[in-house]
Structure 1
């Protein structure tokens, strides 16, 4: 069974994050809490770890994994261009429940870019999720901790029931609040398209860009 470690959801203990980092660096899958549900994290630039995650989730290969990045510098490293609209939206809504999708740089793993050649990024407002990416020092995947088609879990025990034999570690910070997943917005030049409705509306996005 997966190791399950409790930690403070508002101020996660460094020693627990260090253990999670060690397991991620070894290519393992770690479950962690986000603003809404529990997610599954692997090193987002390591294809072997990504393939392991695809097998675990039963996820269609053409549906790329969104990422949580440690800091803004990773947007420049992963997107082909950080356009003025992207910069403004990042300033307005990060950290927060807005995932921004834009053209990816060449050479990134297909599991995170998909057939469209884009990559979806955000900085999380959940202390544990963001601290995990920051402690690792590189992006992690941000896919819900459930088999494709099953309801996303709000409790570590539910993650354990789904995947307990396949995960290295579950970071247990208690029950998450649930609710809608992050707003997913595609930015192409000056055009912004909502791909998934969420906590931030298109009107709020447009107001930010004025």
Structure 2
């Protein structure tokens, strides 16, 4: 089983494992990440193996700042503006891979672009001390509910990795927002911890939704799924279902739910985002075969919450999800 150490005592152990080509589960402000040396093919392969992740799904490379990022990717003026506005923080930029970059090809899944983010807190300090970028997808089995606590990581991946760094429950609770600049067009590849409207205000231009193919993590149709089925936008609760509620008003039949958790009784989308994955995990443990989800407003962080719920509810491709 994995060793669990608090952030204040984990740094040297984490650095030693990363130098040895191992992977380490670390807290970030968004979710827990499964980190490995992005320049080491064996380390990156261990990430894919531990998660059971399909090799065509690229990883985000995490950096300690713009100086490290500039050696990996080619920044245009708009991308640099966004990095200055939102780093460190929950924004990932998809950029052209620099010719001199030492990123292992497994990280990019054969693409000529690289997804980059600068995290806050322990992750940023770890990368700065390590001196190299860390590939770090969410620390959970591929396709399953994202981990926002060290306990959730241990329950899922504890038998496959050597260290989990415990930083408590994550603040944002959703993965980063991913955007890509294409010839002046700002494209949203994955909604996340920064609302689209906030990015649009900083960029001074609108975000275009939609993209062809898998250009970044989190774009698979089925993702973030519990073992139970998920029914989004529910207007009633059917017998035997658990209920993921939102706000103060309940849908028809709520009293017969086998278990109920409310993302935010006051209708606060930031609170709902922080609670999303932990509440889904708890309801999944209730024994219900289906989780009914009350409607969530689509604005602000609601866009990212609804994105995660729709992917959790999508038909599942078990051929790669559980290899």
TM-score normalised by structure 1 residue count:
0.89
Residue ranges of structure 1 left out of the alignment (5+ in a row): 8-12
Shift of 1:178: 5.2
Secondary structure of the residue aligned to 2:143 is coil
Say whether the 8 Å CA contact 2:50–2:161 is kept in structure 1: no
Greater than 3 Å deviation, 4+ residue runs: none
After TM superposition, the structure 1 stretch with the greater mean CA deviation from structure 2, 102-111 or 87-96, is 102-111
Number of aligned residue pairs: give it: 202
Bigger shift: residues 176-185 or 191-200 = 176-185
**1:110 partnered with 2:105:** yes
| Residue 129 (1) aligns with residue 120 (2) | no
Aligned to 1:167, which of 161, 170, 192?
161
- The superposition leaves residues 77-133 of structure 1 with CA deviations (integer Å, 9 ceiling, x where unpaired) of 111x211111111111111110000111246322221233111111112x1121111
Q: CA deviation at 1:48?
A: 0.9
**Structure-2 separation of matches of 1:61 and 1:75:** 23
- Is the CA contact 1:83–1:189 (under 8 Å) kept in the aligned structure 2? no
Query: Who is 1:180 aligned against?
Result: 174
Change (3 A) 1:208 1:177: closer
1:16-165, aligned counterparts within 5 Å?
16-79=10-73, 81-106=74-99, 108-125=103-120, 127-165=121-159
- Partner-residue secondary structure (3-state), 2:37: coil
Distance in 2 (CA, whole Å) between partners of 1:59 and 1:140 is: 17
Question: More relative contact order in 1 or in 2 (CA 8 Å, sep 6+)?
Answer: 1
**Which 5+ residue runs of structure 2 have no aligned equivalent?**
205-323
**Please, what TM-score do these two structures have when normalized by structure 2?**
0.59
Q: Counterparts of 2:155 and 2:149 in 1: how far apart (Å)?
A: 10
Q: CA deviation at 1:37?
A: 2.0
Distance 1:175 1:93 in 2: 22
Q: Please tell me whether the aligned partners of residues 2 and 166 of structure 1 are also in contact (alpha carbons under 8 angstroms).
A: yes
